[in-house]
Amino acid sequence: MKFGVVVFPGSNCDHDCYYAIESVIGKPVEFIWHQDTDLAGFDAIILPGGFSYGDYLRTGAIARFSPVMGSVREFALKGGLVIGICNGFQILMEAGLLPGALLPNIGMKYVCRFLHIRTETVTTAYTNALEKGQLVHIPIGHGEGNFFTDEETLKRIEDEDQVAFRYVNAEGEPTEAANPNGSLHNIAGIVNENGNVLGMMPHPDRSSEGILGSEDGKLIFDSMVHALTVV
């Protein structure tokens, strides 16, 4: 089982993801340079957080043209596991692998803090180690994480069980106050129709060890390991 962490120019959580997989989860992991196109031998691909190409344009808008993204698309279409965290989520959306858009936060400022998200589905490769409704204590750090889409798409992803996580308060309620960025339906993370591609704004890579304030994020990586083991 081998994980790959894509390095775009401007990725800055690439080392964090690498460390989480290698030292916390204990699985083999390699960096994948954004100009490489050969994903043979990888079982799961992580698009890490950061500011790819500086994100001076719309976030992720340039990274999606990186050569590696063609291979990531093929990899995903064949059912491979692809997780985009923060900037990685933004890139997956720009690449059309996930529906919707991520707008600037409603407060128009970057927000970095711990919060709670609620597990909405447990049938995916990213949530099988979690219970439905389980709260995950996890940090966010982004300026553009305000999930938006048209009503029809929103209805579809809700109906098809594609919402993986929702921002909630400590009591597990998806209130307006618990929503850090204005996302529709407090959506924090979604999967594609097949459930093999996950995008989420919160950072499991920053919450996989107790000494960093939470190890809840590890459950997401554990789920991936479980899914790959079962296959």
Q: How many alpha carbons fall within 13 Å on the CB side of residue 137?
A: 8
By CB under 8 A, tell whether 28 contacts another protein.
Answer: no
By CB under 8 A, tell whether 54 contacts another protein.
Answer: yes
**Which residues ranging from 115 to 144 are in contact with another protein (CB under 8 A)?**
137, 139, 141, 143
Using only the alpha carbons of the chain, give its radius of gyration. 16
Which range binds another protein by CB under 8 A, 38-46, 50-58, 93-101, 191-199? 50-58
Which range binds another protein by CB under 8 A, 12-20, 68-76, 88-96, 194-202? 12-20
Q: Which of 170, 173, 193, 231 binds another protein (CB under 8 A)?
A: 170
By CB under 8 A, tell whether 203 contacts another protein.
Answer: yes
List residues near another protein by CB under 8 A: 9-10, 12-13, 15-16, 19-20, 23, 49-51, 53-56, 109-114, 137, 139, 141, 143, 170, 203, 205-206, 208-209, 211-214
